[in-house]
Amino acid sequence: MTQQSNANQPWNIVVVVSDTLRTAYLGTYGNDWMQTPNLDNFAAEGMKFTNAHPECLPTIPTRRTLHSGRRAFPFRGYTPVPWDNVYIPGWQPMSPDEPTIAETLVRQGYHTGFFADVPHYFVPGMNFTRGFRQWEYVRGQAEDRYHATAHADDTLLSRYRGGAERIRAHLVNVQPEQPEETWPTARTFRAAIQFVEQNYNNTPFYLYVDSFTPHETWEAPIHYYDLYGSREEREPMCITIPYGPIDGNPDIEERLPSIRANYAGLVTMVDAWFGKLIDTIDRLGLKENTLVIFLSDHGTNFGENPDRVTGKPANYMYPGTMDIPLLMRHPKGKGAGSIHDNFVYTLDVPATVIEASGVEPLGEIQGQSLLRLVEGTDGFQSREYLTCRYGNSAWYKDAQNWYFSSVDFQNPRLFDLESDPTCQHDIADRAADRIALAQQRILADAGGELPLYTRSGTTDALGRPEFAERE
């Protein structure tokens, strides 16, 4: 599949992932009140994809895709990981018998770096560092098993609402009273910046940066919060939000302005530090020799859907969850300012990395290179539809239809994208033929069957929850 896009000189390649960043909170995707100048400028210098979606969810399944170049969908053979804090189909380590993108590149002379503050990477046995000559897990995001929650300052608890243990973890890990430069987001990007500064003559390099922000917990540094909310409304802060219809959590509704303002502030924080990374690349004269890709794994919801769902529950795969930003800046400036409405996946990012490197992959690459769209070369096959799995739910999209249901196709939802692009009016009760087509194509992509995992009340000898699987 590989063609030499960079015949004269190997390109540096930078991939930046921002967890839970939804397109609706970026200026370049049409938001007129968000302050994201660096990402907006980056999009103007590069290309923007407006029909980008995950091929699977959530955090770890998507990272399996991004690090391997192969679909994690439909989550066969799920085996829980000991000592994890998330148990959901597809949430498992990189397989030891499949090569990674970084391993492919390092064997071809690339210097490779991986910097992340995503705490789920830290779980023993997750196996995502293979192929990286430099890597650093930046500690301190709230879910990180890092500092002692018993050491949290009890006098600060009244500033928050929600689970006490999660609040304590936030206080001792993020330490929100400290300057912005000490927050995990800043330290992650600073580590990536240092990698570029120390290796810009050690080219080519492959740099993978994974920021957990703006994932929960949602407390932004105060100067970012002030851009979007009033201090009178800020507290008590809900640093997490229930996953499900807000009608079941009515006390959350009055806190939504504060929640959204903190989330928006964290998005602007990512924008600021991403801008510093891009400035470093450009300052060191690497712009014309470095491909940069920015994306998210998924978004989240703040009640702006017909079920008034908040968070990202698996059984409500609305645009707030499924629409993701995908931006790319070509080293030669090709496609600058262009907008692409092709159906593209997270799966296409590793395929693009491999083609940009000009090397042959060690294993199968199942996505398609986005360079072919940008450069106008042959090979990108337009997709009629996309499919995705999240937990025990499945999703489908084509030019007209947005569908989701359980993997056994119970409780289907269907929306007409031509008349209802924001998915506000479910027409499943009068669209049997369209639902049948969606289900047929989901099964085709899954190889004919979708395993359904039911969690039992038992654990194995290692303490892992046990699941019953049926097709």
Q: What are 298's two structure tokens? A: 């998924």
Task: For tokens 């794994």, name the residue.
Answer: 297
pLDDT over threshold 70, residue 4: no
Strand partners, 135: 114
Q: Please name the helix (run of DSSP H) or strand (run of DSSP E) that holds residue 65, with its range, or none.
A: helix 59-68
The interaxial angle of helices 59-68 and 348-357, nearest 10 deg, is 20
pLDDT tier for residue 292 given thresholds of 50, 70 and 90: very high
* Whether 329 contacts 343, CB under 8 Å: no
Q: What does the domain layout of the chain look like in residue ranges?
A: 12-384
Strand partners, 237: 160
Whole-model pTM: value is 0.96
Distance in angstroms (rounded) separating the CA atoms of residues 237 and 161: 6
* Whether 296 contacts 58, CB under 8 Å: no
pLDDT over threshold 70, residue 58: yes
CA dist list (Å): 196 to 144, 289, 308, 356: 26, 13, 43, 18
CB under 8 Å to 101, separation ≥6 — which residues?
Answer: 66, 67, 68, 69, 131, 206, 350, 353, 354, 361
Answer whether the bond into residue 451 is a cis peptide, omega within 30°: no
pLDDT over threshold 70, residue 3: no
Does residue 219 sit in helix, strand or coil? coil
Q: pLDDT (tens digit, 9 = 90+) per residue, 244-256? A: 999 888 889 999 9
Distance in angstroms (rounded) separating the CA atoms of residues 165 and 171: 10
Quick one: which of 433, 434, 400, 432 has its CA closest to 418?
A: 400
The per-residue pLDDT for 1 is 41
Q: pLDDT (tens digit, 9 = 90+) per residue, 313-353? A: 999 999 999 999 999 999 999 999 999 999 999 999 999 99
89-128 as b/e: b if 16+ CB within 10 A: bbbbbbeeebbbbbbbbbeeebbbbbbbbbbbbbbeebbb
Distance in angstroms (rounded) separating the CA atoms of residues 22 and 18: 9
Strand partners, 113: 134, 207
**Mean pLDDT within 216-239:** 97
Q: What are 379's two structure tokens? A: 């090979």
Q: pLDDT (tens digit, 9 = 90+) per residue, 387-409? A: 999 999 999 999 999 999 999 99
pLDDT over threshold 60, residue 189: yes
Helices (H), 123-255: 164-173, 184-199, 222-225, 231-234
The per-residue pLDDT for 8 is 61
219-249 as b/e: b if 16+ CB within 10 A: bbbeebbeebbeeeebeebbbbbbbbbbeeb
* CATH code at 12-384: 3.40.720.10
Q: What are 259's two structure tokens? A: 């929640």
